[in-house]
């Protein structure tokens, strides 16, 4: 009887068997032994009770399991987007999570002497981060730039833009710095983002004329998602020489990751744009606040001028202005067409 | 989070007895089964599967909790897992007892009126 009962327990759902199977068997065995001591009438009553209740319990547990699975699916549907998939969600979030979380984690491990900065593991993780971002960008390009790949493109364009401007600054014959300085700090620092600006203007022109870029006409926020991918690199530049910036980097990237998540989930174009713009602004604000807090503790600053923090904040502010300008530029044609249609309606 | 115990009542008779059985302290499945028979004066005899269906539901509702292995002192051959009432479970049991008390009081009053 005990073996038969143990066999029947296999009719319960797998998870239920794992959780209660052993207990059910033990309690059944003990109850059966007790009934045996009280006589056959008790045994018959016990077995009939068990056999009558068992099918009911099995059906009940299977239904409960299905309800649980349904709830899990319902929870999962929270990550399904207007169009796209969970894969899209994960790949779009990946650069923000990877760069934002892995870098501070590695620095913390090095600072707590769990790893050395020259260790194979640290270098290996660094190579993995860069390689995985590069591979995903290539996959995105090969697939015709799906939505998830746009921040990767923005990240790559930003690196290219900054590298080009650095190269131009290094060319002493051009005397670029001397030429831009009279125009103000915003213009000099804006030079880093000039390449990205040009790339975005070209993409916008392509979106208006090329059939292959039809997608960007249908959803203009896609263009805005490209420079958003450059914000992580802007944050890295902002904190370039700083030490102890890990918490601020972490929170800035958390904000950017949340912005991406909300962007992918939102159905309304203006809300999507607002989310990206807001997240970029908040991330830069956290960076600026972090610099003000960290500045007095930096050992590279030989002399802390009362105005030093203003200069540092202004640098971040200038970066924000340029990123904001580029993001607003992508929405400008849509803004103009809306005003035009409103005028016609009036 | 303050959950209203009223939302859990009325309890079914087996559920009430399972919770009542755990009111004095922790018990393993077999002890609960025997206690329910005793509490109900042999009127409610739970089968093993019914007991664990109730246990599973009460765990999900947060009315009881399962104790980890090292917290237990069950004897040899007895189930190694035992259960205890949570604070919410105790409040639900008390609320149900008040409800039943009210019902009995009303019934007695009416029966007395009928008798008079």
Average pLDDT along chain A, 346 residues, taken 10 residues at a time: 87 87 90 88 88 90 80 54 64 79 75 72 79 88 84 91 82 69 67 88 83 75 90 86 81 89 82 92 92 77 66 84 90 64 45
| Distance, first Cα to last Cα, chain B | 49
Per-residue DSSP letters for A276-299?
Answer: HHHHHHHHHHHHHHHHHHHGGG-T
Residues in chain B: 116
A33 touching chain B per CB within 8 A? no
A320 touching chain B per CB within 8 A? no
**Looking at the partner chain, which of B48, B50, B55 has a beta carbon nearest the beta carbon of A31?**
B48
A290: its two tokens:
């972090």
B74 touching chain A per CB within 8 A? no
Query: If you measure CA to CA, which chain B residue comes closest to A54?
Result: B49
Q: Do A23 and B81 touch (CB under 8 A)?
A: yes
- Contacts of residue A53 in chain B, CB cutoff 8 Å? 47, 49-50
**Looking at the partner chain, which of B30, B33, B50 has a beta carbon nearest the beta carbon of A57?**
B50
Residue A37: HSE in the Cβ half-sphere, 13 Å Cα cutoff:
5
Q: Do B56 and A16 touch (CB under 8 A)?
A: yes
Give backbone dihedrals phi and psi of A336, rounded to 5 degrees, phi first: -65, -45
- Read off the pLDDT of each residue in B39-53 and give the average, rounded to a whole number: 90
B24 touching chain A per CB within 8 A? no
- Contacts of residue B33 in chain A, CB cutoff 8 Å? 27, 31
A242: its two tokens:
């700083």
Mean pLDDT estimate for chain B = 85
This prediction's pTM? 0.54
A346: its two tokens:
């009036």
Compute the 3-state secondary structure of chain B and give helix, strand, coil in percent, each to the nearest 5: 60, 10, 30
**Looking at the partner chain, which of A30, A45, A53 has a beta carbon nearest the beta carbon of B50?**
A53
The helix (run of H) or strand (run of E) holding residue B82 is strand B82-85
Cα–Cα distances (Å) from A12 to A66, B29, B32, B47, in that order, read 12, 18, 22, 15
**Chain center to CA of A143:** 21
B30: its two tokens:
């077999």
Q: Do A24 and B48 touch (CB under 8 A)?
A: yes
Q: Is the ipTM of this complex over 0.90?
A: no
Query: What gap in Å lies between CA B22 and CA B20, rounded to an integer?
Result: 5
pLDDT at A324: 93
Q: Do A26 and B50 touch (CB under 8 A)?
A: no
pLDDT at A305: 65
Task: Please tell me the distance in Å from A67's CA to the nearest CA on chain B.
Answer: 13
Query: What gap in Å lies between CA A83 and CA A267, rounded to an integer?
Result: 9
B14 touching chain A per CB within 8 A? no
The number of C-beta contacts closer than 8 angstroms across A and B is 57
Cis peptide before A319 (omega within 30 of 0): no
For B83, the 3-state DSSP assignment is strand
The answer for A 51-90 residues in CB contact with B (under 8 A) is 52-54, 56-58, 60-61, 64
Q: Do A27 and B51 touch (CB under 8 A)?
A: yes
pLDDT at A42: 86
The answer to whether residues A298 and A241 touch, using CB atoms and an 8 Å cutoff, is yes
Query: What gap in Å lies between CA A199 and CA B6, rounded to an integer?
Result: 64
pLDDT at B39: 92
- Contacts of residue B53 in chain A, CB cutoff 8 Å? 57, 60-61
More confident residue, A111 or B53: B53
Q: Do B29 and A28 touch (CB under 8 A)?
A: no
Cα–Cα distances (Å) from B11 to B77, B95, B102, in that order, read 32, 10, 15
Tens of pLDDT, residue by residue over B10-25, are: 888 989 999 999 999 9
Q: Do B33 and A50 touch (CB under 8 A)?
A: no
Give backbone dihedrals phi and psi of A78, rounded to 5 degrees, phi first: -60, -25
A268: its two tokens:
């309304």
Strands B64-66 vs B27-28: parallel, antiparallel or unpaired? unpaired
> Helices marked H in A39-111 — which ranges?
40-77, 86-97, 103-111
Query: If you measure CA to CA, which chain B residue comes closest to A9?
Result: B49
Residue A22: HSE in the Cβ half-sphere, 13 Å Cα cutoff:
9
Q: Do A20 and B77 touch (CB under 8 A)?
A: no
Number of continuous H segments (helices) and E segments (strands) in chain B: 4, 3
**Looking at the partner chain, which of A19, A26, A58 has a beta carbon nearest the beta carbon of B79?**
A26
Query: What gap in Å lies between CA A92 and CA A296, rounded to an integer?
Result: 36
Report the candidate in A97, A119, A100 with the shortest Cα–Cα distance to residue A109. Answer: A119
The answer to whether residues A168 and A108 touch, using CB atoms and an 8 Å cutoff, is no
Query: What gap in Å lies between CA A276 and CA A278, rounded to an integer?
Result: 5
Report the candidate in A152, A105, A112 with the shortest Cα–Cα distance to residue A133. Answer: A152
pLDDT at A275: 93
Residue A98: HSE in the Cβ half-sphere, 13 Å Cα cutoff:
20
Give backbone dihedrals phi and psi of B64, rounded to 5 degrees, phi first: -130, 165
A142: its two tokens:
């090969």
pLDDT at A343: 46
Q: Do B48 and A50 touch (CB under 8 A)?
A: yes
The answer to whether residues A51 and A97 touch, using CB atoms and an 8 Å cutoff, is no
Query: What gap in Å lies between CA B96 and CA B4, rounded to an integer?
Result: 12
Report the candidate in A144, A162, A250 with the shortest Cα–Cα distance to residue A199. Answer: A162
Task: Please tell me the distance in Å from A203's CA to the nearest CA on chain B.
Answer: 52
């Amino acid at each position: 009887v005990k073996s038969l009962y143990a066999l029947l327990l296999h009719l319960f759902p797998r998870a239920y068997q794992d959780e209660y199977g052993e207990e059910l068997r033990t309690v059944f065995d003990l109850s059966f032994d007790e009934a045996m001591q009280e006589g056959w009438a008790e045994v018959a009553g016990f077995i009939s009770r068990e056999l009558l209740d068992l099918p009911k319990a099995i059906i009940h547990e299977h239904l409960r399991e299905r309800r649980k699975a349904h709830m899990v699916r319902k929870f999962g549907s929270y990550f399904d987007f207007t169009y796209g998939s969970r894969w899209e969600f994960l790949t779009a979030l990946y650069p923000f999570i990877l760069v934002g979380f892995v870098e501070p984690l590695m620095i913390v491990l090095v600072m707590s002497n769990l790893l050395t900065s020259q260790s194979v593991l640290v270098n290996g993780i660094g190579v993995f981060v860069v390689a995985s971002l590069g591979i995903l960008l290539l996959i995105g390009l090969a697939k015709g730039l799906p939505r998830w790949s746009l921040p990767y493109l923005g990240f790559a364009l930003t690196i290219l833009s900054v590298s080009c401007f650095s190269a131009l600054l290094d060319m002493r014959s051009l005397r670029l710095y001397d030429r831009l300085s009279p125009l103000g700090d915003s213009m000099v620092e804006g030079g880093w983002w000039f390449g990205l600006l040009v790339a975005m203007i070209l993409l916008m022109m392509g979106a208006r004329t090329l059939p292959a870029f039809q997608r960007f006409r249908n959803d203009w926020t896609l263009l805005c998602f490209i420079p958003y991918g450059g914000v992580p690199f802007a944050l890295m530049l902002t904190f370039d020489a700083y030490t102890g910036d890990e918490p601020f980097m972490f929170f800035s990237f958390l904000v950017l990751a949340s912005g991406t998540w909300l962007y992918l989930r939102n159905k309304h174009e203006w809300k999507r744009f607002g989310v990206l713009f807001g997240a970029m602004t908040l991330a830069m604000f956290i960076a600026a606040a972090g610099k003000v807090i960290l500045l007095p503790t930096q050992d590279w600053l030989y002399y802390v001028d009362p105005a030093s923090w203003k200069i540092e904040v202004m640098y971040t502010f200038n970066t924000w202005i340029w990123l904001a300008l580029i993001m607003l530029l992508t929405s400008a044609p849509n803004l103009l067409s809306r005003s035009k249609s409103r005028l016609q309606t009036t | 989070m303050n959950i209203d115990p009223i939302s859990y009542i009325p309890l079914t008779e087996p559920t009430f007895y399972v919770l009542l059985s755990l009111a004095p302290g922790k018990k393993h499945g077999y002890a609960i089964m025997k206690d329910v028979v005793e509490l109900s004066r042999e009127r409610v005899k739970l089968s093993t599967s019914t007991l664990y269906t109730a246990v599973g539901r009460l765990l999900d509702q947060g009315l009881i909790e399962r104790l980890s292995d090292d917290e237990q002192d069950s004897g040899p051959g007895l189930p190694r897992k035992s259960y205890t009432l949570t604070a919410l479970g105790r409040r639900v049991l008390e609320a149900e007892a008040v409800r039943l008390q009210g019902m009995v009081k009303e019934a007695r009053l009416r029966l007395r009126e009928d008798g008079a």
